[in-house]
């Protein structure tokens, strides 16, 4: 008797099919991505080649992954921090640590080489200069080996060197601008350096620094640099004498006027040496707007002193006064100032 299914067969709904396909695609991408990210490198350790696949980023990470130790004195090419690329060849040469028994002491040497002669070269000794060794120059070396070297002795040399002092500049508002005064004399320091020198058949080889110590610290030189703007200029009076601006007394009478003052010097930036009135330009001459201050008027300017309004200028309009100085440096030092002047007469 034929049996029929209890319930009709069911098919996966479309959304389930899509979910399964997406999950499968993710797995494929992850697996292939892992494979694509791997790089093929060849690591050559002391002449022995080791091909390997890696996802490491740098040479040092590849060596750590491969369990290849690297110690001081070993040679790694390319450098440990070099980025790994597909097909790269990494070479590692492990150093052999030996001791040279010399007259006057022993010297430990890390040797990237195979023979006693290589050990001498690593220590800075020329093996062709006739030295005698035990074992012989062509004998192979091994870690911990002691090599006796005749006709070579160790000389310790001490040397005192000077440590230069620094110069420190400090602003001093009480001193004239640009002046320099040494407040504290600089003193150079001293350092003791100890070198090891290998002497072969009476000839010194290269020096190796083995210790250094500061005997005395340097003392900085302190220099005070003036920042004060000078105002002690000489002002010509109407009578032909001159008076220091810093000591010129303000007039007891006259008309006060608030003005903006600027400065100029004759023969600088196209400025002539004669004024609009024909007088020679120089300290004690002021350029004014004749409609505001009459030419020939004597004025007093705080910080400058007395001046004669004997010049004009295209840019001198209204309550502006342009003060003449003998040099460009003095004019620059004055700058631009708003002051209350006194019109004396």
Domain locations in the chain as residue ranges: 13-91, 96-155, 159-226, 234-343
Q: Report pLDDT for 40.
A: 92
Q: Report pLDDT for 51.
A: 93
Cα–Cα distance measured from residue 97 to residue 119, given in angstroms and rounded to the nearest whole number = 9
CA distances from 323 to 58, 330, 343 (A): 71, 11, 15
User: Looking at domain 96-155, does it have CATH number 3.10.20?
Assistant: yes
User: Which strand (E) or helix (H) includes residue 165?
Assistant: none
Residue 27 or residue 202, greater confidence: 202
CB 162 within 8 A of CB 190: yes
Query: Top-level CATH class of 159-226?
Result: mainly beta
Q: Which residues pair with 160 in a beta bridge?
A: 192
CA distances from 226 to 62, 176, 221, 222 (A): 61, 5, 16, 13
Evaluated on CA atoms 318, 320, 322, 323, the torsion sign reads positive
Cα–Cα distance measured from residue 231 to residue 334, given in angstroms and rounded to the nearest whole number = 8
Superfamily per CATH, domain 234-343: RlpA-like domain (2.40.40.10)
Evaluated on CA atoms 203, 209, 210, 212, the torsion sign reads positive
Cα–Cα distance measured from residue 78 to residue 92, given in angstroms and rounded to the nearest whole number = 9
Q: Report pLDDT for 235.
A: 43
CB 123 within 8 A of CB 131: no
Residue 153 or residue 161, greater confidence: 161
Long-range contacts for 251-256 (Cβ within 8 Å, ≥24 apart)? Answer: 251/300, 251/342, 251/344, 253/344, 254/300, 254/342, 254/343, 254/344, 254/345, 255/342, 255/343, 256/340, 256/341, 256/342, 256/343
Cα–Cα distance measured from residue 118 to residue 309, given in angstroms and rounded to the nearest whole number = 92
Q: Report pLDDT for 21.
A: 59
Q: Report pLDDT for 314.
A: 80
Considering only CA atoms, give the Rg of the chain: 45
* 46 three-state secondary structure: coil
Question: Beta 39-45 vs 48-54: how paired, if at all?
Answer: antiparallel
| Residues above pLDDT 90, as percent of the chain | 16
Cα–Cα distance measured from residue 288 to residue 297, given in angstroms and rounded to the nearest whole number = 10
Q: What is the pLDDT of residues 207-253, one digit of tens each?
A: 888 888 999 999 988 888 777 655 444 444 433 334 445 456 778 88
* 43 three-state secondary structure: strand
Q: What is the pLDDT of residues 328-345, one digit of tens each?
A: 888 888 888 888 899 987
Question: Beta 255-264 vs 320-324: how paired, if at all?
Answer: parallel
Of 13-27, 120-134, 198-212, 237-251, least confident by mean pLDDT is 237-251
| 13-91 and 96-155, same CATH topology | yes
58 pLDDT band, cuts 50/70/90, is very high
User: Looking at domain 13-91, does it have CATH number 3.90.79.10?
Assistant: no
Cα–Cα distance measured from residue 55 to residue 40, given in angstroms and rounded to the nearest whole number = 9
- CA 242 remoteness from chain centre: 52
Q: Report pLDDT for 85.
A: 92
């Amino acid at each position: 008797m034929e049996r029929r299914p209890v319930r009709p067969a069911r098919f996966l709904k479309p959304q389930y099919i899509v979910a399964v396909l997406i999950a499968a695609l993710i797995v494929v991408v992850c697996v292939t991505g892992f494979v694509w990210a791997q790089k093929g490198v060849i690591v050559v350790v002391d002449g022995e080649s080791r091909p390997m696949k890696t996802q490491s980023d740098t040479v040092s990470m590849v060596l750590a992954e491969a369990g290849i130790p690297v110690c001081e004195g070993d040679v790694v090419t390319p450098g440990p921090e070099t980025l790994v690329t597909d097909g790269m060849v990494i070479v590692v040469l492990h150093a052999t640590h030996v001791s040279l028994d010399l007259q006057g002491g022993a010297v430990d040497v890390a040797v990237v080489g195979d023979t006693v002669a290589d050990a001498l070269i690593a220590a800075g000794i020329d093996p062709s200069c006739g030295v005698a060794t035990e074992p012989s120059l062509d004998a192979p070396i091994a870690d911990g080996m002691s090599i006796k070297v005749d006709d070579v002795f160790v000389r310790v040399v001490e040397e005192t060197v000077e440590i230069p002092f620094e110069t420190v500049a400090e602003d001093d508002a009480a001193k004239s601008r640009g002046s320099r005064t040494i407040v504290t004399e600089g003193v150079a320091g001293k350092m003791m350096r100890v070198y090891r020198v290998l002497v072969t058949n009476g000839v010194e080889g290269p020096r190796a620094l083995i210790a250094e110590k500061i005997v005395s610290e340097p003392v900085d030189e302190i220099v005070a640099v003036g920042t004060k703007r000078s105002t002690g200029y000489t002002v010509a009076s109407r009578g032909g004498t001159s008076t220091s601006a810093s000591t010129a007394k303000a007039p007891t009478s006259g008309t006060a006027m608030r003005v903006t003052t600027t400065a100029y010097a004759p023969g600088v930036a196209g400025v002539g040496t004669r004024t609009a009135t024909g007088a020679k330009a120089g300290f004690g001459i002021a350029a004014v707007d004749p409609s505001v201050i009459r030419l020939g008027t004597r004025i007093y300017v705080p910080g400058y002193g007395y001046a004669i309004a004997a010049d004009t200028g295209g840019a001198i309009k209204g309550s502006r006064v342009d003060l003449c100085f003998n040099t460009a440096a003095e004019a620059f030092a004055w700058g631009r100032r708003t002051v209350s002047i006194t019109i004396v007469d």
